[in-house]
Amino acid sequence: MKKTLVLLLIVAVFAGLIAFRGYQQKQVGSLVPEEETVRVEVVTLKEMDLSDVVEFSATIEPEEQSAVVPKVPGRTVLEVFVSEGDKVKEGQPLASLDTSLIRQQLEEARTFYETAAADNKRYQALYEEEVVSRQVADQARARYTQARSAWEQARIMSGYHTVTAPTEGVIARRLIDPGDSAPQGPAFLIFRQEKVKAVGSVPERNYHAVRPGQRVVLSVDAVPGRHFEAEITRISPVIDPVTRTAKIEVTLPSEGLVLPGMFARATITAGERKASMLPLEAVSRLAGTGETVCYVAEGGQAFLRIISTGLEQEGFVEVTEGLEPGEEVITTRSRNIKDGTRIEVYRR
């Protein structure tokens, strides 16, 4: 009996301890944890002199290019006199085409012309002697005129069987070989390369900052360590509604180094102006939307603010919309800072 009482006492003690422990855990779980306060550094908008720099990527193209199209397509190419990269002068033969058909046509046209000329001479003499009527003489003259025109046309066509360069330049593309049929399209492409042009696009927001004649500095990937000075020669009068950009052309001497097809980066300094700036570390992108945001310190809390930005310069970014002068912006980078986070501010 005594042992039973001791055992029951021990069980009661353990049951009491378990119940007390459960009560403690319930009390702890019902407590609301105190919100953590994050210590942050803040800045305000800083007015700075901002250089309006417009940058864009460009592809180098020849200043002038000529597509050489044979005037008698379908003829067999007998010989090609030039290769890609060759320099040519205006009027220089580039290729010869089969002339067997035109030679036959030319011989027939010459025979018809000589016969018509002799007949016309004879009938004009007979008309003067009043042997034939005026109508017969006029018909003979018409045949003569027609034959002469056909012979002259055949002679012109025979000259088209030699393909010549319409301008001086460099053979950029050769699109025919001996044995081919002369195409209806280009057989050669000729580039003039004393000067080249860099063709690219500028964003809509920079459109009014650029103008023809403006100085441009180009760096070309294929010519490292060199900067080439150029000037804007043409700006598109319209904005592409899809890309929101405008086409721009920049002309420069090639110096034998800058060649069509190369990639270039262009920089235009369009002047200076006053701008409201923030350090880059105070600005970030909102995940999922890509909107530019910062956190504003107000009343001991951090508040998310969507802003619009412009150019970047020396570790600062221009703020164009979304902030007022004097508002304090958090520069501290921390995952703990969210919209509504309690903060303790210290200033630079």
Sorted by where each starts, the structural domains of the chain and their CATH numbers stand as 39-50+274-347 (2.40.420.20), 55-62+194-272 (2.40.30.170), 70-95+163-186 (2.40.50.100), 99-160 (1.10.287.470)
What percent of the chain lies above the pLDDT cut of 70?
89
For the cut 70, the answer to whether the pLDDT of residue 7 exceeds it is no
Average pLDDT, the chain: 85
C-alpha dihedral sign at 234, 236, 242, 245: positive
pTM over 0.75: no
Which pLDDT belongs to residue 28?
47
For the cut 50, the answer to whether the pLDDT of residue 181 exceeds it is yes
Mean pLDDT of the 16-38 span = 59
CB 248 within 8 A of CB 56: yes
C-alpha 180/C-alpha 335 separation (Å) is: 69
CB 54 within 8 A of CB 268: yes
What percent of the chain lies above the pLDDT cut of 90?
36
Exposure b/e, 32-53, CB count within 10 A at least 16 = b: eeeeeebebbbbebeebebebb
The more confident residue out of 36 and 190 is: 190
Among 38-47, 76-85, 122-131, the range scoring the smallest mean pLDDT is 122-131
Which pLDDT belongs to residue 150?
86
For the cut 60, the answer to whether the pLDDT of residue 290 exceeds it is yes
Provide the pLDDT confidence category of residue 279 given band limits of 50, 70 and 90. very high
User: Which residues lie closer than 8 Å to 330 by C-beta, 6 or more apart?
Assistant: 40, 41, 42, 282, 294, 295, 296, 297, 302, 337, 343
Which pLDDT belongs to residue 333?
85
DSSP type of residue 82: -
For the cut 80, the answer to whether the pLDDT of residue 10 exceeds it is no
C-alpha 233/C-alpha 269 separation (Å) is: 16
CA angle 177, 84, 58 (to 5 degrees): 130
For the cut 60, the answer to whether the pLDDT of residue 1 exceeds it is no
User: Which tens digits make up the pLDDT trace of 307-335?
Assistant: 998 878 888 999 999 999 999 999 988 88
Q: How many CB atoms lie within 10 A of CB 202?
A: 22
| Angle (deg, nearest 10), helices 100-128 and 134-159 | 160
Rg, C-alpha atoms of the chain: 43
What is residue 304's three-state secondary structure? strand
User: Which tens digits make up the pLDDT trace of 186-244?
Assistant: 999 998 878 899 999 998 888 888 889 889 999 998 999 899 988 999 999 999 989 88
DSSP letters along 29-69, please? HHSPPPPPPEEEEEE--EEEEEEEEEEEEEEEEEEEEEEE-
DSSP letters along 195-234, please? EEEEEEEEEGGGGGG--TT-EEEEEETTSTT-EEEEEEEE
Mean pLDDT of the 103-111 span = 85
| CA distances, 217 to each of 63, 66, 160 (Å) | 18, 28, 45
For the cut 50, the answer to whether the pLDDT of residue 33 exceeds it is no
What is residue 324's three-state secondary structure? coil
For the cut 60, the answer to whether the pLDDT of residue 151 exceeds it is yes
The more confident residue out of 158 and 23 is: 158
Helices and strands (H, E) in the chain, number of each type: 3, 19
Mean pLDDT of the 82-107 span = 89
Which pLDDT belongs to residue 31?
43
| CA distances, 54 to each of 51, 57, 316 (Å) | 9, 11, 16
Q: How many CB atoms lie within 10 A of CB 127?
A: 18
Exposure b/e, 233-247, CB count within 10 A at least 16 = b: beeeeebeeeeebbb
Among 251-255, 270-274, 301-305, the range scoring the smallest mean pLDDT is 270-274
Q: How many Cα atoms within 13 Å fall on the side-chain side of residue 156?
A: 7
Query: What does residue 101 show for φ and ψ, rounded to 5 degrees?
Result: -70, -45
